[in-house]
Amino acid sequence: MHSIEVFRQYEGTHWKISDIDFAAIDKTRVKPEYLTLVKSAVMGESNVIAAVHGFLNEFPDDYDFSSFAVVWGYQEVQHHYAFTAYLNALGEHIPYSAVASMRAPYDPGTRPAATLATNVISELTVNTVYKAVAKWVDEPVLQVLLKNASLDEAHHAREFIHYTKKRLDEHPDELASVLETVYFYTADDRIKHPVGIFKDGLEELSGHETIDTGFEFFLDNVAGDDGLDELQDKIRRAFSGITGIPMSSNSQVRRALAEAIS
Ligand SMILES: [Fe+2]
Ligand SMILES: [Fe+2]
């Protein structure tokens, strides 16, 4: 089982919340926008429960992937708790009602391969954002947290790529659903992330940071002019690798989709 290999690799790269010295936070360097970003990260990471629930519902016939989903979930819970610990060390809190509103499971994707593809995109996106924000912030403890989480997200992307490829090898009829997903998430002039798409407009979130608050801030202040294009390119390249179909532009994705459904 691939998930056993993953588990053993993660044992080697695993970090602990107790390794982070929250007492060493340099409060003089913490700017209000850092708190906005960290709150946004907590809200994004807290969706792990909905995602694991959705995976276990959608892949009852795949023990290996389901095991990976649980291992993955542990790391995402850790991200949620680590970012929360950072906020708490600064006397900041997110109301439980906001986090709890993230609990409901995700509905199944159009096809299981599309669900996996969605997660490739979300991991690549969060990996890119955390990595860039880690360089941008000027507070050492937050830098460490963001670097740690960003590396985890890169590993997660790698595994979701593995499972998407495997699913498509076994279910080639699901290709169109994958291409449709790539097109949906990379065709606009903004960062689209499943948490923002599926958990938009919840009453409990009004007036609170959401994951999209962080993405908007990232694009406006951190990413630079080419940041969004670079991210969307990275996503398309990953799917070229998965499918073997060249996808260096949005029109190529559209063409590939048209061919897959014809
Ligand atoms: Fe995460
Ligand atoms: Fe992740």
Q: How many whole angstroms from 31 Cα to the centroid of ligand 1?
A: 22
By the 8 A CB rule, do 84 and 139 touch? no
Residue 102: exposure state from Cβ atoms within 10 A (0-12, 13-18, ≥19):
buried
In angstroms and rounded to an integer, the radius of gyration of the C-alpha atoms of the chain is 18
Q: How many whole angstroms from 153 Cα to the centroid of ligand 2?
A: 4
Nearest to 243 by CA among 251, 110, 154, 252: 252
Residue 182: exposure state from Cβ atoms within 10 A (0-12, 13-18, ≥19):
buried
Q: How many whole angstroms from 231 Cα to the centroid of ligand 1?
A: 17
The DSSP-derived string for 14-62 is: ---GGGS-GGG--GGG--HHHHHHHHHHHHHHTTHHHHHHHHHHH-TT-
Tell me how far the alpha carbon of residue 149 is from its chain's centroid. Answer: 10
How many domains in the chain? 1
Nearest to 105 by CA among 56, 160, 177: 56
Q: How many whole angstroms from 262 Cα to the centroid of ligand 2?
A: 34
Q: How many whole angstroms from 261 Cα to the centroid of ligand 1?
A: 34
Residues 84-90 have a mean pLDDT of 97
> Encoding tokens for residue 249?
């532009």
User: Which residue matches tokens 């694991």?
Assistant: 52
pLDDT number for residue 49: 96
pLDDT band at 262 (very low <50, low <70, confident <90, very high): confident
pLDDT number for residue 31: 95
By the 8 A CB rule, do 210 and 47 touch? no
pLDDT number for residue 195: 75
**Which residue would you say has higher pLDDT here, 103 or 80?**
80
Provide the residue type at 18 as one letter: S
C-alpha–C-alpha distance, residues 228 and 149, integer Å: 20
**Ligand with an atom nearest the CA of residue 211:** 1
**Ligand with an atom nearest the CA of residue 76:** 1
**Ligand with an atom nearest the CA of residue 72:** 2
CATH number (domain holding residue 175)? 1.10.620.20
By the 8 A CB rule, do 107 and 58 touch? no
Domain coverage including residue 44: 2-261
Q: How many whole angstroms from 237 Cα to the centroid of ligand 1?
A: 22
**Ligand with an atom nearest the CA of residue 10:** 2
pLDDT band at 246 (very low <50, low <70, confident <90, very high): very high
pLDDT number for residue 83: 98
Span 144-191, pLDDT tens digits: 999 999 999 999 999 999 999 999 999 999 999 999 999 999 988 888
pLDDT number for residue 15: 97
Q: How many whole angstroms from 78 Cα to the centroid of ligand 1?
A: 8
Sequence-distant (≥ 6) Cβ neighbours of residue 184 within 8 angstroms: 192
C-alpha–C-alpha distance, residues 231 and 226, integer Å: 9
C-alpha–C-alpha distance, residues 217 and 222, integer Å: 7
**Ligand with an atom nearest the CA of residue 77:** 1
From residue 234, alpha-carbon distances to 151, 153, 188, 239, 255 in Å are 16, 14, 15, 9, 19
Q: How many whole angstroms from 261 Cα to the centroid of ligand 2?
A: 31
Q: How many whole angstroms from 27 Cα to the centroid of ligand 1?
A: 24
Q: How many whole angstroms from 121 Cα to the centroid of ligand 1?
A: 13
